Amino acid sequence: MLTVDFDRLGLRPGERILDMGAGAGRHAFEAYRRGGDVIAFDQDADELSTVRDWFAAMKEAGEVPDGAEADVKEGDALALPFADGEFDRIIAAEVLEHIPADIQAIQELVRVLRPGGTLAVSVPRWFPEIVNWKLSADYHNAPGGHIRIYTDAELIDKVTKAGLEFDGRGHAHGLHSPYWWIKCAVGVNDDKHPLVRAYHRLLVWEIMKNPKVLQWAGNVLDPIIGKSLVLYFHKPSTPAAPDA
C-alpha cells in the first residue's frame, strides 16, 4: 500500500529514482512499474534479497515497461554510496523517525538529488503517533523503533535548511491509525486479541480489494487522522542567493 503520491513526486519513465529505506520494496516496485531506473536502498540485506527477487519476477511477468531497470544496494543512510546529484527523484518513506542523526541523513538525500529533482518524505504524523506513545511504551522502545515524533513544521524546517524548497503536504493511511491505537491499548505484541484480529481483517480487505466504501472512508479519515505525514520538496535549479 503506497504512502507517496507518485503523481506529485513527478516520476517519468527513464528517470533515476532512489527509494531510501526501501524495506519490503512497496514504493520501489511502483517506481519500477512506472518505468523508473530504480535503486532500492536499505541496511537490511535479507529484505533487499527479497526485493531483488521480486524485481526479477516483475520483469519475467512483463509487469514493467521496456527499458525500466531496478537494482538493490545495501548501505548506511548517513553515507549514501552515490554521486552528487545522481537521482532525479527520491523517496524516504517512514525511515527518518528511526535515525538518530536525522539531519545528516537529510543532508545526504539532498546531496544525491539533482538540481530540479524532487523528494518525498513520509513520517508518522504527530497526533496519531503521540497517542501510540501515550498508550504503550513498548510501541517505541523496541530496538530499531521510533525515536522521535515530528511536527510538520520541524521536518519542513530541517529539509529546507538542508537546501530544498517545500512544495506541499499530504496525509495517508487514515484507516491504520485506529488499528495501532487498539494494538497499543491491548498490548502492542498481542496479535491474537479479538479486536486486533477483527481490525486486521478490515485492513487486509482494504489492501487486497480496496472496496469503494473503504476508499471513501480513507478519503474522509486521511486528512483527520491519517497515520502518515507526506511532505514534497524540490531542489532549486540554481543556488539561492545569500542573504544580504
Give DSSP secondary structure letters for 102-135.
Answer: HHHHHHHHHHHEEEEEEEEEEEE-HHHHHHHHHH
Kindly state whether residue 207 falls inside one of the protein's structural domains. no
Kindly state whether residue 212 falls inside one of the protein's structural domains. no
Per-residue pLDDT of the chain (244 residues; tens, 9 = 90+): 899 999 999 999 999 999 999 999 999 999 999 999 999 999 999 999 999 999 999 999 999 999 999 999 999 999 999 999 999 999 999 999 999 999 999 999 999 999 999 999 999 999 999 999 999 999 988 888 899 999 999 999 999 999 999 999 999 999 999 999 999 999 999 999 999 999 999 999 998 999 999 999 999 999 999 999 999 999 999 765 544 4
Distance, C-alpha 26 to centroid of its chain: 9
Strand partners, 232: 120, 168
CA dihedral for 220, 171, 100, 145, sign (positive or negative)? positive
Domain that holds residue 45: 6-125+143-173+226-234
Give DSSP secondary structure letters for 29-75.
Answer: HHHHHTT-EEEEEES-HHHHHHHHHHHHHHHHTT-S-TT-EEEEEE-
CB atoms within 10 A of CB 36: 28
| CA–CA dist 183, 19 (Å, integer) | 29
* CATH number of the domain where residue 164 is located: 3.40.50.150
pTM above 0.85, yes or no: yes
The C-alpha cell 503520491 sits at 5
**What's the total number of domains in the chain?**
1
